Amino acid sequence: MSKQYAAGSKQKTPGSHRVPKSSFFRFPPSSPLPLTPLARSFYLRPTLLVARELLGKLLVRRINKRTLIGRIVEVEAYLGERDPASHAYRGETQRNSVMFREGGYLYVYFTYGMHFCCNVVTESAGIGRAVLLRALEPISGIETMAANRSIDVEARRDHDAAISHRNIELTNGPAKLCQALAIARKENGTDLCGDCIWISDDPNFRGHGIVRSRRIGIRVGTERLWRFYAKGNPFVSRG
C-alpha cells in the first residue's frame, strides 16, 4: 500500500502503463537547457529530503560526444545504519565504500549477477546514505538509449513517440536506466559535480504530485515508506 505524500487523495502503486493525460510531460524541452550540475550542497542535506527533491531533476550522461538526458521520476532512499535494507547497514566495506563519501557521488553496484544499479550519495562523509534512482522519463538521446538496450523505438521526437509503450520500457527500472545510459562498474564513484554524469534542474519542468510508498524488491525494512515517485507518470517502474 502507498500513501500520498503531497496533498491529495491516496494513490495505488502503478501497475498499468496506460498513458494518462498529465501536465507532467514536456517533450522535447521548449527551450535549450543549461544543464548546470547541482551544487554539492544539494546532496549534503537529509537523505529523505534529497530523495523527494530529486524527482523532476534531469540526469545527464555525456558519452562519446553524445548527451543522454532523462528526468528522474522514481527514487528510493537508503539510510545506512538505520536501515537493514541498506548496503551500508553493517558498516563500510570495499564494495560500498563510495556510499561513505560526502554527498554528490554516484554509487554503482552489481546485482543478480547481471545488472547494475546507480545511487546518489547523500549527507556527510562517513555516514553511508544514498538514494537509488529507480526510473527516468527519457528526454534526449532516445535513439542511443535504445541502442544501448537493444530496443527498437520510434525515432520521432514528438510527445506521442516519447510516451509510446516501447519508449516507456527504456528506463522504467533501475537496471534498465543504467543500461540505457551506459552506467556500469567503471562509473562507480563518479563525481556528480563533474562533467561526465551529473544532475541538473529543468527550468521547463511544470511540477507533479509525489506519491510515497514502501520500497520494492527488498526483504527487510519493508515497512518504511522511503520510495517516492511522480504521480501519474507512466515511466515509473512496475511496483
pLDDT at 152: 79
- What confidence score (pLDDT) does residue 105 get? 98
Higher pLDDT, 205 or 192: 192
Residue 174 region by backbone torsions, left for phi larger than 0, else alpha for psi between -120 and 50, else beta: alpha
pLDDT, position 206: 78
Decide: 48 and 226 in contact? Cβ < 8 Å. Answer: yes
Which residue would you say has higher pLDDT here, 18 or 220? 220
Q: Which pLDDT score, from 0 to 100, does residue 205 have?
A: 79
Span 120-141, average pLDDT? 97
Q: HSE-up of 120 (CA within 13 Å, CB side)? A: 35
Tell me the pLDDT of the chain averaged across its residues. Answer: 85
In the prediction, which pLDDT does 26 show? Answer: 41
The average pLDDT across 148-173 equals 70
Residue 112 Rama label (left phi>0; alpha psi -120 to 50; beta): left
Helix (H, G, I), strand (E, B) or coil at 71: strand
Residue 179: its H or E element: helix 174-180
Region 65-79 average pLDDT: 96
Residue 56: is its pLDDT beyond 90? yes
What mean pLDDT is predicted for residues 215-237? 95
Least confident of 78-92, 104-118, 172-186, 198-212: 198-212
H-assigned helices in 71-158: 142-149
Task: Report the alpha-carbon distance of residue 135 to residue 164 in Å, rounded.
Answer: 16
Q: What is the pLDDT of residue 124?
A: 98
pLDDT of 166 reads: 66
- Is 2-14+33-230 in CATH node 1.10.1130.10? no
pTM more than 0.85: no
Q: Give the domain ranges of the chain.
A: 2-14+33-230
Among 23-27, 58-62, 116-120, 230-234, the range scoring the smallest mean pLDDT is 23-27
* Mean pLDDT of all residues in 9-29: 37
Q: Does residue 82 surpass a pLDDT of 50? A: yes
pLDDT band of residue 208 (cuts 50, 70, 90) is confident
**Banded pLDDT at 33 (limits 50, 70, 90):** low
